Amino acid sequence: MRVMSKQMTKKAPRKRFPRQQKGLVMLMVVGIVVLMITLLALMLEEQHILIRQTGNQRVVEQSLHYSQGLNAWALRVLHEDANRQIDHEYEKWARFGRPEKELDEDEQDSFSLTPTLALGQEEEEEDATIDFGIDTIEVTIDDLQGRFNLNNLVSPTSAEGTQDRQAVKPQDQRRIFLNLLQLLEIGEFEEDRVNLYSALVDWLDTGDDITGLGAESRDYQIKSTPYFAADQPLNSLGELKYVKGFSKKTIRKLRPFVTVLPVQNSRINLNSVSPEVMASLTPGVVADTSSVIGFLARKEQPGFQGFSPADVQQAYSAINGASPGTAAFTNTLQVNSQFFQINTKVELGDYQVCTRTIVLRASANPDTLSDQTISVLSREQDTVCKEEPAGDTGTDESENNEDLR
């Protein structure tokens, strides 16, 4: 028996193995559970991302559809303009999407967005807003012909450009541009402004000859990031940052007063012109803008229905007063517009989309509205809406214009 018990006690260590195995099994089970939970979490995360992606796509598509709808709506408003011989800021297209101002009570605008916010609400924002229960929608139409067209600085290259033979010649547009720079306090001296003009003309003209202290491709090729001069009309104001001498500050000052139209002899609409641009329309150096400001003050008179062709001659007289001793460039003004920009902004949740559409509304034959087409010339779309004046096409302005010697 003693022997037996000794043998039993000797065999006892064999029982350790099952315990170790039990522990191992437990560890394996815990490991598998942890692995499964991790996999499950990863799968859920992946699914969550997929759901978010699908949701985002839906929001993007929804926003784009809203934008398209707004653009179509704005095009219709432009098309419905009853008087295409005169275009002014009190017309329906100009008020479209904007708070009402000095509107006759009997003149109800079927296209206006304002009824949705008029009752009991203060008009705090510049642009009208519709709340669709989810987010914000804005649309406005700007007249692009109240501004100086930078592409006027070079000779027309297309057949279209020869339509208006009476238009001010590019060499005379130079004076207008220099006057505008002076009024906007761009460039300390006249020669600084001439240098900006020269660089811009070189950027626009097809040749490689350098104008004054301007710059052509060979000058831009020596920059740290080399590029060529465009040698063609500007497509957007954003391009200016590549032109020698046009700093961010200069471009920022210019933006509200200039535009780039796909023609090189555009006239300016007296009804939407700013005093600065109007006073610049003189062959002499601008001395005083008060006569022009006085003339444009007529727009504030009650019942003003836009300047008519009969007012254009008086406008030239006002410009003469801005530069005594010189007669204004005639054939620079008109009282209607062909180029417009439709601005839309749609916000859905965290997503936003802004579009800027430049359209050409033909008005060569104002008596037959049905023949008058509206063509979309360009459309840009951003998912980050920047607060910029109309006419800008939204190109990134992050780069500094390196000085060239």
Which residues lie near Ca ion (CB under 5 A)?
81, 83, 87, 91, 202, 205, 229, 231
- Cα separation, 243 vs 259, in Å, equals 16
- Cα separation, 47 vs 50, in Å, equals 5
- Cα separation, 271 vs 300, in Å, equals 12
Report the nearest approach of Ca ion to the CB of residue 263 (Å). Answer: 19
For Ca ion, the closer CB: 68 or 83: 83
For Ca ion, the closer CB: 345 or 361: 361
Residue 40 carries which DSSP code? H
Question: What number of H helices and E strands is found in the chain?
Answer: 11, 9
- Cα separation, 401 vs 246, in Å, equals 7
For Ca ion, the closer CB: 81 or 397: 81
Q: How many CB atoms lie within 10 A of CB 369?
A: 14
- Cα separation, 91 vs 360, in Å, equals 18
Q: Give the residue carrying structure tokens 């008060």.
A: 290
For Ca ion, the closer CB: 95 or 255: 95
- Cα separation, 72 vs 220, in Å, equals 41
Which residue lies nearest Ca ion, judged by its C-beta?
87
For Ca ion, the closer CB: 69 or 366: 366
Residue 210 backbone phi and psi in degrees, to 5: -80, 130
Cβ–Cβ < 8 Å for 361, 78: yes
For Ca ion, the closer CB: 83 or 247: 83
- Nearest Cα neighbor of 147 from 65, 53, 266 is 266
Report the nearest approach of Ca ion to the CB of residue 197 (Å). Answer: 13
Report the nearest approach of Ca ion to the CB of residue 229 (Å). Answer: 5
For Ca ion, the closer CB: 147 or 345: 147
Cβ–Cβ < 8 Å for 258, 150: yes
Structure tokens at 115: 């009824």
Report the nearest approach of Ca ion to the CB of residue 249 (Å). Answer: 25
Report the nearest approach of Ca ion to the CB of residue 203 (Å). Answer: 6
Structure tokens at 138: 């804005």
Structure tokens at 181: 């720079």
Report the nearest approach of Ca ion to the CB of residue 301 (Å). Answer: 19
Report the nearest approach of Ca ion to the CB of residue 92 (Å). Answer: 9
For Ca ion, the closer CB: 184 or 215: 215
Report the nearest approach of Ca ion to the CB of residue 205 (Å). Answer: 4
